[in-house]
Amino acid sequence: MTEPISEPAAELEPVPALTAREREAAEALFGERLAGAERYVEHLCTTGISHGLLGPREVPRMWGRHVLNCAVLGSELPESGTVADVGSGAGLPGIALALVRPEVEFTLIEPMERRVDWLDMVIKDLSLDNVQVIRARAEEVADEVMADVVTARAVSALKKLIPMTVPLLDDKGQLIFLKGRSAEAEIEAAQKALKRFRLRAPEIHVLGRDMLEEPTTVVRTSRR
């Protein structure tokens, strides 16, 4: 039986206030949807913690390390189309990006029932009509999902992530993964997978240098 998900509770960790720099970035990224982003962060810091999607130590850095870190990727997405977020977990980056880019359709792919229930609750609460959730592993929906962009964050190393995500990709689509300092090493270790799936040499981009205290590193590649 699935554990019911309650509304954010006041007795849990307090929601962190935006610093001046974070607010400036949040206003630039979310625009008129900033209130929705603030509500999303409230969910992350309350029910997201109580249901084990994130650890309590992440609360003080929820904006900078997590939400803004993902939201900055919005500028890299096409003007319209579809994005599949693999292993969406707490909706990072999928829900953050859906708030930034309401004209893009997002499919969040997550195998764990508790996480899917939480995602459904948050999507409903935020009135996100451009997001759907599929409870499955990525490899189980290759015949169902065909996206212009496939994203993932903190799911797996590239050599394992590539075989998992390429089958979800449209012929002219792109893989855009949020990575950290290990991006170059992961690319080197993934050379066999890159050749097997006939992908272009990956490019590393650093996003948000001008607005984020911790800029976001992404790895981008596409079919040849």
Concatenate the DSSP letters of all residues of 140-206 into one string.
Answer: G-TTT--EEEEEEESS--HHHHHHHHGGGEEEEEEEEEEE-TTHHHHHHHTHHHHHHTTBPPPEEEE
Instruction: Say if residue 13's pLDDT is above 70.
Output: no
The pLDDT of 29-53, averaged and rounded, is: 96
User: For the segment 124-164, what is each residue's pLDDT rounded down to a tens digit?
Assistant: 999 999 999 999 999 999 999 999 999 999 899 999 999 99
Q: Which tokens sit at 92? A: 């990072």
Bridge-based pairing state of the strands 104-110 and 81-86: parallel
Q: In the structure, what pLDDT confidence band is assigned to residue 12 with cuts at 50, 70 and 90?
A: low
Instruction: Tell me the domains of the chain and their CATH numbers.
Output: 20-222 (3.40.50.150)
| pLDDT at residue 69 greater than cutoff 90 | yes
pTM: 0.92
**Containing H/E element for 135?**
strand 131-135
Q: Rounded to an integer, what distance in angstroms lies between the CA atom of residue 78 and that of residue 53?
A: 29
Answer yes or no: is pLDDT of 108 > 90.
Answer: yes
pLDDT of residue 192 exceeding 70: yes
Output the DSSP codes for 45-112. HTHHHHTTSS-GGGGGGIIIIIIHHHHGGGGGS-SSEEEEEET-TTTTTHHHHHHH-TTEEEEEEE--
**Percentage of the chain exceeding pLDDT 70:** 94
Give percent of the chain with pLDDT exceeding 90: 90
Q: In this predicted structure, what is the pLDDT of residue 14? A: 74
Confidence grade of residue 6 (pLDDT, cut at 50, 70, 90): very low
Q: Answer yes or no: is pLDDT of 7 > 90.
A: no
Q: Give the separation between CA 27 and CA 29, rounded to whole angstroms.
A: 6
Place 224 in a pLDDT band, splitting at 50, 70 and 90.
confident
What pairs with residue 107 in β-bridges? 84, 132
**CA–CA gap between residue 180 and residue 198 (Å, rounded):** 24
